[in-house]
Structure 1
Amino acid sequence: MTIVESKYLSRDAFAARIAKCPVAILPLGATEQHGYHMPLGTDTILAEFFSRRIAEATGATVLPAMPFGYSWVWRDAPGTVTLDQKVMEDVICNVAESLVPAGVKHLILVNGHEANSATMKYATRRMWDHPDIDVWRLFYPNLAEELKQHCESPTWHGIVHACEFETSLMLAIAPETVEMDKAVAEYPERDAGYFHGGRPMGELSRSGVFGDATKGTAEKGHAMVETFTTRMVDMVREICA
């Protein structure tokens, strides 16, 4: 089996892969609560999974995942670790700059945590004028379309967290980590303090679920996994062409 993850490669093996395909993938995850039925590393597990699938199809090389993201909204939940947005932005840019001497021309950010999206945008803008490397960002392409096609329950005001969507993905790729007997449905009241102020999500929900996790199934997850993988592979090939 071909090894696509740099943590398992020697320096020479890494250099050989980059010489053939000068593309590296950085999975971006988080360590935060995902209800009582899923693990703290849900977002990281998902980002790593899709990164490996992309690499296997394109020849890119997967870097060790960033297991911490912007998780301030769950700061009071046991196990949550959060980074300041600027710190995370600096790390992404430092990683990109570190890869230049090895000949990496493209760094693909594969994100599993919705709240990382703004930081990714600022990091890619910051690196846009770099002469030697381009940084790109991916997060569940055409997500709204997939939710409409495969999920029965509505999102909580467009947000996906520990819901039918994420539960289905985890049941497809890491079912041993999901305890469906603990899955619940919860739709907290819309809160002006959250949408127009700074209130953390942890103050809104009893369960940590925003949506209906009980509707999650492996079948739905597998269908979405295949669609997301195909779209992300196509996007990487287009970007790196």
Structure 2
Amino acid sequence: MYLGDEAWPDLESYFESESIALVPLGSTEQHGPHLPEATDHLIAEAFARAAADRTGYLCTPTINIGVSGHHRQFHGTMWVDPPEFRQYVESMTRNLTSHGIDRVIYVNAHGGNVPHLREVGARLRQAEVAYAIEWMWDESIPELVDDLFEQNGPHGGPKETSMIQYLESDLVHDDRLREAKEGGVPSVDAAGTVRHGSRTFYDAADNTDNGVLGDQTDATAEKGRQLFEAASDQLVYLCEWLADQPFEALLPKEHV
């Protein structure tokens, strides 16, 4: 069920009987010369909508702009600063709790959002308002990602390229895949910006001239389909697990 498609009287029965919401989040940022800036939020919304369709749980509108300041040197990248992002996500989640939602899955497709979503979830849990957890699609299927790609990225690499080839093929510049590979770097290790145990980089531009890593020429829509179906299964399993938990069991333990 997509919240934005429903009239308010028709949502009453959902809020009376269910307590889960899926919140898709991504970014609007550079993904190299070959992928759209919408890459992350397109992927997040596709997963959240698919899981909502399969489970009947509620999917909210997508948060399209995330913590992406580390891509600011590239044209068109949009971002919000971390405190404002955390405040917005927490406020939106509290809004859901006012309708009876007490558990939320942040269906996330942007690595820069992860620590901030974790912090918001921890605050809401500590306040015993809601149990909100972050889910990242590629982290749910690491073995498959490793099996499909020799150099998988992480940013703008073949896993994201394959996913957009599958979901929104018209938005991929397939004629630029070799350019993306040759203008980027295979990995952060290859960039040489981890020195003596310290991550000496702050921005994507510190690592790669064109903003991406990995071997984009290894991407195919078929691989994207495999990734999407496998990770969608994992998200559905997570929804089912979360629905089975008594809310009290999800709250912080008592002091010893």
The question of a shared fold, defined as TM-score above 0.5 by the shorter chain, is answered with: yes
Q: Which residue of 1 aligns with 2:176?
A: 182
Q: Which residue of 2 aligns with 1:82?
A: 79
Q: Which residue of 2 aligns with 1:173?
A: 167
Q: Deviations over 1:87-144 (max 9, x none)?
A: 1111111111111221112111000111111111111111113334221211124342
Larger radius of gyration: 2
Q: Which residue of 1 aligns with 2:248?
A: none
Contiguous gaps of at least 5 residues in structure 1: none
Distance, in Å, in 2 between the alignment partners of 1:229 and 1:239 is 15
Q: Which residue of 2 aligns with 1:161?
A: 155
Conservation of the 8 A alpha-carbon contact between 2:66 and 2:85: yes
Distance, in Å, in 2 between the alignment partners of 1:230 and 1:11 is 30
Conservation of the 8 A alpha-carbon contact between 2:141 and 2:230: no
Of residues 144, 147, 168 in structure 2, which corresponds to 1:146?
144
Deviation at 1:36, TM superposition (A): 1.1
Q: Which residue of 2 aligns with 1:208?
A: 211
Deviation at 1:146, TM superposition (A): 2.0
Give the 3-state SS of the residue equivalent to 1:77 in structure 2. coil
Distance, in Å, in 2 between the alignment partners of 1:92 and 1:112 is 15
Q: Which residue of 2 aligns with 1:223?
A: 226
Give the 3-state SS of the residue equivalent to 1:107 in structure 2. strand
Deviation at 1:170, TM superposition (A): 0.8
Taking structure 1 as the reference length, what is the TM-score of the superposition? 0.91
Letter in 1 for 2:57: A
Deviation at 1:68, TM superposition (A): 0.7
Aligned-residue Cα RMSD (Å) equals 1.8
Q: Which residue of 2 aligns with 1:69?
A: 66
Letter in 2 for 1:170: I
Does the C-alpha gap of structure 1 residues 223 and 59 become closer, same or farther in structure 2, counting only changes over 3 Å? same
| Aligned residue pair count | 234
Contiguous gaps of at least 5 residues in structure 2: 245-256
Deviation at 1:164, TM superposition (A): 0.6
Deviation at 1:22, TM superposition (A): 2.1
Taking structure 2 as the reference length, what is the TM-score of the superposition? 0.86
Q: Does 1:130 align with 2:127?
A: yes
Deviation at 1:197, TM superposition (A): 3.5
Q: Deviations over 1:128-165 (max 9, x none)?
A: 133342212111243421211222x3245xxx111011
Distance, in Å, in 1 between the alignment partners of 2:56 and 2:102 is 13
Conservation of the 8 A alpha-carbon contact between 1:17 and 1:59: no
Q: Which residue of 2 aligns with 1:92?
A: 89
Distance, in Å, in 2 between the alignment partners of 1:124 and 1:136 is 6
Runs of 4+, deviation exceeding 6 Å: none
Deviation at 1:198, TM superposition (A): 4.8
Distance, in Å, in 2 between the alignment partners of 1:155 and 1:16 is 43
Of residues 27, 37, 40 in structure 2, which corresponds to 1:40?
37
Instruction: Determine what percentage of the aligned residue pairs are the same residue.
Output: 23
